[in-house]
Amino acid sequence: MAETSLRVPSRRVSRTGAEVSGVEETNRLIPEEVAVALVYDGSTHAVMMATPADLEDFAVGFSITEGVVAARSEIREFEVVEHEKGLEARMWLVPDAGRKQTDRRRRITGPTACGLCGVESLDAAVPAPRRVGHSASVTAEQIHAALAAMPPAQTLNVATRAVHAAAFWDATTGAIAFVREDVGRHNALDKLVGAVVTAGLDPAKGFVVLTSRVSVEMVQKTAMLGAEIIVAVSAPTALALRVAEEAGITLVAIARPDAFEIFTHPDRIVLSVERGEGIRQEVHTHARSLSH
């Protein structure tokens, strides 16, 4: 009998394969996509389409990156409730965080008919990012090692070839501490944030690895975690670079097992002596030009 629970991250479906050599009836695994409501103290804050795995990590990470709570300890209870058409990730907050969330909901649902409100909404779309510290330092070899370790660690993507991943490379152990996957790249990063925070890892002692492009939200969420370095296999947007520069984040992108490009704050990346200062100066110049 087919699994009917909405908490199954992938499902096997039938398909027709058409090749030059002929037609084949077979099946394959595809990822699930479910509506997940983030509920605080009985009120729904947002509904996200997500892969129904690591839901507590997702709820905790979303709460932190969206500024609902400042720490995992501000969520005093958590449960997942399954409905016919989706899931509720229910959280109960400590009193102070609960009052702040209630006030925030009142502001969101207030009148929006005036022109000034529109300006305020635009400001809210790209808020000033949280500035991160400046204690992280990693080598090119560590970045290459993290990239090489990523593919086999993406178990859901190995099975389905259809999901994004976000990982945290722990410089203390020299290995990937967590990988979180989802049909949505933002969700994958929120899940990772939740896992790192719940485990009590120091986000400055390592770096975030992304399999997706780096849009501004990915930088903002990383800044809320407090991680100082992002390594991504795809390219960033220009706005993401400006926000990374402002947040103090080192953004490494278009990363491959044997090469990568540094776009902002390159001093955290220790390059080889043979390549070092010339490349370092070139990256500094490129990063400065983006801010003008």
pLDDT tens per residue across span 144-183: 999 999 999 999 999 999 999 999 999 999 999 999 999 9
- Return the pLDDT at 122: 74
| Active centre residues (catalytic) | 114
Summarize the confidence of residues 122-131 as an average pLDDT: 86
Residue ranges covered by each domain of the chain: 34-125, 138-290
Please, which residues have CB within 8 angstroms of residue 214's CB and are 6 or more apart in sequence? 230, 232, 234, 235, 236, 237, 240, 251, 253
Q: What is the pLDDT of residues 248-288, one digit of tens each?
A: 999 999 999 889 999 999 999 999 755 445 444 444 334 43
Model-level pTM? Answer: 0.89
pLDDT score, position 110: 47
34-125, CATH topology level? Ubiquitin-like (UB roll) (3.10.20)
The burial of 58, by beta-carbon neighbours within 10 Å (0-12 exposed, 13-18 middle, 19 or more buried), is given as buried
- pLDDT tens, position by position, 85-106: 999 999 999 999 999 998 877 6
For domain 138-290, give the fold.
Cytidine Deaminase; domain 2 (3.40.140)
